[in-house]
Chain A
């Protein structure tokens, strides 16, 4: 089956630093990847839609200058949390949609736990 990986699986950083999270589709190409955020005891909230070779589309209330998304290839999207603050501490999950399937299919990564001190 289709596999999506995320790296790192967890990261701890100091307030004010930037953190990069990678999302890779390991055995398929993905024109579109999605980034979600999940706070403790809450559900996933869509942050942005990442399209290969074009700018990401951000959901209302998500700061594009704070959460930088790059989708440089059909197998890799990165999310960079710039000038991280403790309120950015969360579980970040990506999903990837196969190039060929078209429809609703998407596969989720295992998530990255970010803790900002």
Chain B
């Protein structure tokens, strides 16, 4: 059974700081790992998807890395802005299902970027 853990649970930083969010997963036989953003009371916005054969993906100020052997992924946010304030979720497929689309989510990191 796949278990996904995220630390820290909450993070508050001043605007402009670079920051790292951590995600760990128990079963390293994953097809991919995804990072999502969730604003309060809203659905999910996909940020980055890293395939199992990749080590990192970049989109704008976001960079996600994947280390399958250690069961870890990090989301790096450069030059944080107040608009980045949200909950960030990582998700890995339920390996036992054989499907890359049935996801197990971490509990999220609630990020607050102070102006």
Contact = CB atoms under 8 A, between A and B. Distances in A.
A54 interface: no
Interface residues of A, number: 24
Nearest to A46: B102
Contacts of A109: 43
> For chain B, which range describes its interface: under 10, 10 to 19, 20 to 34, or 35 or more residues?
20 to 34
Interface string B94-114: 100001111111111000000
B38 to A, nearest CB: 9
B44 A46 contact: no
A83 to B, nearest CB: 26
Interface of A: 6, 32, 34, 36, 42-46, 49, 91, 93, 95, 97, 103-111, 113
**7 closest cross-chain pairs (CB), A and B:** A104-B100, A110-B43, A108-B44, A43-B105, A43-B107, A44-B105, A111-B43
A64 to B, nearest CB: 16
B31 interface: yes
